[in-house]
Every structure is written in structure tokens, then in C-alpha cells.
Structure 1
Amino acid sequence: MIKLNMASVKAGMRLAKSISTTDGKLLIDAGIPLKHQYIEKLCKLGIQDIHVDWDQNADGDLYDVFFQDTKREMTQLVEESFKTMSISKSFEINRLKVLIRQLIEDLSYNKETMVYLTDIRNIDVYTFGHCINVCIFSLMMGILLDLSQDELVDLGVGALLHDIGKIAVSQEVLKKPSSLDPYEYEEIKTHSIRGYEIIKNIEGISKSSCHVVRHHHERFNGKGYPDGLKGSDIHLFSRIVAICDVYDALTSNRVYKKKITPHFAVEYLVSMGGHEFDYELVKLFIKHITVYPVGTLVKFNTGESAEIIKINESFPTRPVVWVKFDQQGEPIEGSRVLDLTKHLYINIEQII
């Protein structure tokens, strides 16, 4: 199986992973040979990358890293709740907690899943998809930190609702396809306090969840907002969600900017560790995140290209690879497997 940008997908390639919309509608099932019209439809729907079988005779890989049923129901609930709360300030917190507990159970059972979580998106409306992604990343960090079940639920609720205050922000500002002016930026910044005011009195939402909504833009060096908290004065849950929020935002397409690769997002987090973010939490996050998902085709500084076949958890930017193309782009015969932790002169320059 290999991950390809849609620009590189050719008719006749066999789909390795099923593609569905966030409401669960199956677009194309795994194992189906791709036709020109299928490729055109996927491009029109905004899908940028898909997984195809490298060996055309291989069966489709039906393994789906993300738990589609839970994600679909949670996405629908978040979308409904955002709309409802903008009118009545009501929220189905018990239903939400049931879904979060199910997600915790799934993630706890599949701890190895963390290394694949860079590939949890299908076709998401950004706001709702972003909330789900941040919730998943945050819960995985909480599980790795051995938080209790109740603590994980509170973390999940806070992560899922961290942007709820945006329902009170001008839609013109939220959807502006260019950089914000200072006035607009100040309006955006109010979403954390507005979100806190919306949920602080809802029965069933804990104080720690409310801290996440209010303080996910606080920064470890005290230069965040709205309260200018610093270091350990920022609640642990808020420090976790701050990292997951920024990572997902950087690796997602937005109305005003295109996503960057996980590699550069990880480099940003590392560079900001100890300044904007809790460095110990950053180290935990990057140790369990796939910078280059298995199946990704990459190009080296040597000019050769290779497929990622295994993740080095301690060194996520230096995976194990199968070299497949020479400097001229010609296929290489045989099996040349390299562990990049042992070949430091070889660097990945781009994802193909």
C-alpha cells in the first residue's frame, strides 16, 4: 500500500483504503480499480491524497485506522450542538460523554494507532473535523499520561468544545479568505472567553473542561490569551489541547492558507517547545505521531525516492524506508531497505 497525492493517481490503480464522507456515506470501497471518472470526482470533492496498492495483484487493505462509526456520530453531534447552542445554549452532554468513553475504549485497545493519526481525515467541514481531530489527539496523549477514565472524559469534552466560542464570532471574520486585520484578529481572540461563558454553567461539564475552552490559547511563556497564564499555572488539559490544536490547524487546509506537511508541523512544535508549549508534552506528542505515515512516498536529498514502511517512534522524522526509484526516477530492482537513523547523510526533502 502506498499513499499518493491525487495528482499522481492514474486510472487502473487499485484503491487500498475505503473513502467515506464524514456522515458515513461510502464513496469508493477498497479493492476497486480507479477509473478516470472516479479520480475526477474525488478531486472535485477536495480529496488530496489516497492509498493505492503498490502491488496491483494485492487485495485491498481494509484496515481503517479511525473508528468511523464513532467519528460519524460524534461529528454529527458536534455540528448539531454548535447550531443548537448558538440559539438555546443547550447541549447533550451525556450523549457526548458516551461517545467519548467509546472513543477512549477504542483508543486504549489500539494504542499502536497513535502513530497513524496523521491520517484521520476524510472530507471534513473544517470546524467540526478540527474539533474531532483535536479530541482524538488529546485523548491519546491523556492515555499515554495514564489519566483516569473520568479525567480522560473531561479532557475529551474540553477538547471537543474548545472552539465552541466561535459560534459567537462573526462568520465573515471566521471565513475570511485572507489575513485578518488587527481588529478582526482581536475579535477572533474573544472566542475563548465567549466559549467559556457559554459552557461554564451547563450541568455535567467540569471545571477542567471549562479551563480547556478558556485557556487553550494560553502559552507556556505567558504570552498567550486571554489571561496571560504561564507554565504550570496553565491547566494540564489546556497545555495538551494547545499542542493538538496547533498541530491539527497547521496540517489542515484552511480558507486562508494551505496545510503544511506533518514534518514541518513537528519541527514547529519542537522549535516552540519550552516557549509556547510545554516541552515535555511536545516530546510525548511527537514520539507518538507519524510524521510520514506508512505508505507515503518521499524523495531524498540524494535524488532517490522511497516508500515509508516502518515508523521509528523515538525518531519520527527518520523512518525505515524501501528505496524504489533512482535519481532519474527509474524503478530500482530488488529490495533495498534503509533505517534512516543509521544513514544520517540521507534526508527526506519532500513528500511526493
Structure 2
Amino acid sequence: MRTITIDLIQERMILNQDIYSELGGIIFKKGTILKERDREILKAFGITKIEIDQESDVNEKQDKVVNKTEDQSSLAEDFNTYFKNALKVIDIVLKNAQGNAPIPIMAIREVITPLIQDKYINPQYLLNLKLYSTDFTKYESHHALSVSLLSYAIGKWVGLEKNEWIQLALAGILHDIGMSRIPSHILYSKNKLVPYEYEEIKMHTFYGYKMLNHTMGLSKGTHLAVLQHHEREDGSGYPLHFKEQQIHFYAKIVAVADIFHAMISKRNYRSEYSPYLVIDHLLNESYQKLNSFIVRTFAKHMVNLSIGNKVILSNGMVGDIIYIDQNSPTRPMIKTREGIINLAQEINLHIKEVFKQNQK
């Protein structure tokens, strides 16, 4: 380790410290492999000296990155297999529910257990759940499983007891089980729903709650999440127009997971939304309709942007992240060929995609 002035920065030097701005935002993380262009970024923030590792560490670090990439590829293949296996079971459960078949809670727990391992409860997988939802005819199953994984993750991140996490996962699987009681001509209508049809759709929360009344293996919170996941903090939701403390905490978690996955998913009547735009939407909704603590905790864990990430913006421009304000994690400063764009000020722009390492 040694300290140098930024004028001496060379390609492939490794940063040995976190670099912060005067406002406390992180500019570069420890371990960043520097480029000569980073010198200008540091100058812009008034940084004159940095600590670096010896350049000889670069090759060793790159070997570790290669090995890590190979491990991640294997994990992704396993996740895909587990996801598909779980979908088969959930698809059968949802279809059988139309005929009043009992809900096989133990079978559901068995197929989701491999997916809720710590190595999968992270943004790498949860931000990309839309990639597994390409079959529009299986959307209900994909949505149920995805909301399950997201609800489990949120329960963990907000600090609930470990034994509650699996109940949240079950709530996610079953939150829309009442849709099996909605007439198919309404549920799959290609036309805009008329008022009475929309009122019938809203009844799925009551139907699902009633269906699960005598199902063993579910907590009270799980039952209430099925009933209340469309309630909102300001009383504007349904079916009972509950507010704030009247709504069970599980229902508030499932509500966030439900909205997130629905919006990032491509449907036959619209394109998917960027997960970063959806998180923006959730943060805006947290002021009145959604629980602020849950949404902000979710955003904190899901927005895995880092200084140096290459991104594509909604207008097609490509650039590198040079600064992240922790109060607006989805709206960093981006350096493009045309100049620096501050997304916190350019509200009509958003991050569409973060490039993977091999796309740069």
C-alpha cells in the first residue's frame, strides 16, 4: 500500500480505500481497478491523494474475478433449474385450486426451499426475475413464485424473525389464489373491464382468504396478507379500505413485492418497465400509499449500483456512473460522451439497464 497524488494514477492501479465526497456519498469503492479517466472524476470532487495497492496485485485480483464469474455461472444454472421445478408445482397448485383441491403447503415449501438460500436472495437474481417470465400463458405461476421470493427477501431485510420468512414466502405464493374463483371471461378479458367486472376482480382477496381458512401450516399473518395485500396506507386500497396500523405487516411486504414484479414483467398488452424506474415509483408511493420503511429497505438492498458501472439510459445514451447520492440511489450522476448527466435533476430520464462485466 502507498499514497500517491492523483496526477500519478495509472491504468490498472488498485484503490486501497473508499473515496467519499464532502457530502458523504461514495465516489469509488476500495478494490476498484482505476483507469486514467478516473483522475478527472477525482479532481472534480476535490480529491488530491489516494491510497493504492501495488500494481502486481492486479493479475491476482483478475484471476479471482474469473473464478468468481465461473462460480456465478454455475449458480445461475442451478437457480434456473430450481425455478422451473418450482413453477411446475405451483402451476398445478393454482389449476387444482379451481376445483377446490386442498393446498399442499408442504409440497410448496419443498420446492421453494432451494430458491431461498442466502446465495440467491440478492439483487443479481431478484432484479432479473422478469427473465424467467417469458411465457405469457404462465404469468400467474411466474408472478406467484416471484412475489414469494421477493417477500421472503424483504422479510429478511427488514429484520423479521427467521421463522417468519417462510410464512412470507408462502403468502407470496398464495396472495392471488382467490383469482381461481374469478370467472374466466372476466379474468382473461382482452377488453377494458367494466365497473362490475373490476369489482369482481377485487373480490379475489376475500375469495383467497376464505379458501385458506382451514389450510394447515399457515400463520395468521399469512392469511391476512392474502386478504390485505391491496390495502394502502392512506385507505385508498381494497377490499376494506384499511389504513396504516389496520394493515398487517406481512400484507404491506407482499404489496411491495406484488407491485415490483408486476411492473418489471412483460405482458401481452405492454412492455416491461426498468426495475430502477419501478423502484423510483415505489419510493414515490411510499409517501402515502406504501409503508416507507419497507420500501426504503427494499430499495437499499435492491439498488446494487456502484461507481464505474456502465449503464444505458432510457433515451439510449450510454455512460458510466461517477457518483451515487444515497438519498436517491436510483438516480446517480452519469458521465457520457456528451457530458455529465445528473439523473436526480433529469426526471424524464432513468436507468434502463446496467451492463454486465462482459458487455462493457
Q: Does the alignment reach a TM-score above 0.5?
A: yes
Q: Which runs of 5+ in 1 are unaligned?
A: 1-57, 328-335
Partner of 1:298: 312
Partner of 2:263: 250
Partner of 2:301: 288
Q: Does 1:78 align with 2:90?
A: yes
Letter in 2 for 1:216: H
Cα distance between partner residues in 1 of 2:111 and 2:72: 27
Could you tell me which of 110, 128, 132 is aligned with 1:98?
Answer: 110
Partner of 2:213: 200
Cα distance between partner residues in 1 of 2:164 and 2:71: 38
Change (3 A) 1:271 1:319: closer
Partner of 2:101: 89
Identity among equivalent pairs (%): 26
Q: Which runs of 5+ in 2 are unaligned?
A: 1-68, 354-360
Cα distance between partner residues in 2 of 1:265 and 1:66: 27
**Higher helix fraction (1 or 2):** 2
Letter in 1 for 2:312: V
Partner of 2:10: none
Alignment check: 8 A CA contact 1:176 1:256 kept? no
Q: Deviations over 1:11-54 (max 9, x none)?
A: xxxxxxxxxxxxxxxxxxxxxxxxxxxxxxxxxxxxxxxxxxxx
SS of 2:302's partner is coil
SS of 1:62's partner is helix
Cα distance between partner residues in 2 of 1:167 and 1:300: 37
Partner of 2:203: 190
Alignment check: 8 A CA contact 1:218 1:234 kept? yes
Alignment check: 8 A CA contact 1:262 1:292 kept? no
Q: TM-score, normalised by structure 2?
A: 0.67
Partner of 2:140: 127
Alignment check: 8 A CA contact 1:270 1:279 kept? yes
Change (3 A) 1:226 1:299: closer
SS of 1:288's partner is helix
Cα distance between partner residues in 2 of 1:310 and 1:88: 54
Partner of 2:281: 268
Q: Does 1:165 align with 2:174?
A: no
SS of 2:319's partner is strand
How many residues align? The count is 278
Alignment check: 8 A CA contact 1:296 1:351 kept? no
Change (3 A) 1:69 1:188: same
Cα distance between partner residues in 1 of 2:281 and 2:324: 20
Larger radius of gyration: 2
Letter in 2 for 1:189: K
CA RMSD of aligned residues (A): 3.5
Partner of 2:352: 351
Change (3 A) 1:295 1:90: farther
1:236 offset after TM fit, Å? Answer: 0.7
Partner of 1:22: none
